[in-house]
A and B are shown apart, each in its own frame.
Chain A
């Protein structure tokens, strides 16, 4: 049952990757990367219970904190260059 739910969440992440490939602007791609990252966070928590090892929860915590820095720096720098070019 947990394996089927992992497969469904992975298919949802693949479907959201379509917006990364064909976004009209840069900000669409960054929003899609944000949603894909939180789907990956959910998949990491699922795998901690799928393999029954509790160490895997720390990887999810570290990845969630680093995703925030990633999205924030992308939004800051790409927004500044976008405002200069227009």
Chain B
């Protein structure tokens, strides 16, 4: 039972990481990164490390996503990237 849960978690981790890397729009990549960090918390809990999981939940799921959203919103021109993605 442990093997099935662990392989399913790793499969989902690789899928969400590939969706974050190979997406052409920056917003879609950022949303996939949020799912990736939440999945990493579950994997650290599964590997019996609750303190690392707590730090991961604060840093990756909270601070990194918020900083990336504000930084992309202030620097990048979102209208051009969306029009390039649709064409």
Contact = CB atoms under 8 A, between A and B. Distances in A.
When A and B assemble into the complex, do they touch directly, with CB atoms less than 8 Å apart?
yes
Nearest to A43: B42
Contacts of A78: 27, 69
Chain B, interface size: which category?
35 or more
Q: Top 10 nearest A-B pairs by Cβ distance?
A: A3-B1, A66-B62, A63-B57, A85-B79, A29-B31, A77-B73, A81-B78, A59-B53, A40-B38, A55-B50
Contact of B45 (A13, A47, A74): A47
Contact of A67 (B8, B19, B39, B61): B61
A6 B61 contact: no
Main secondary structure of the interface of A (DSSP, over half): helix
10 contacts: A3-B4, A3-B5, A10-B8, A10-B12, A14-B8, A59-B45, A63-B61, A67-B38, A70-B65, A77-B69
Contacts of A66: 57-58, 61-62
Chain A, interface size: which category?
35 or more
A11 B8 CA distance: 8
Interface of A: 3-4, 6-7, 10-11, 13-14, 17, 20-21, 26, 29-30, 33, 36-37, 40, 43-44, 47, 51, 53, 55-56, 58-59, 62-63, 66-67, 69-70, 73-74, 77-78, 80-81, 84-85
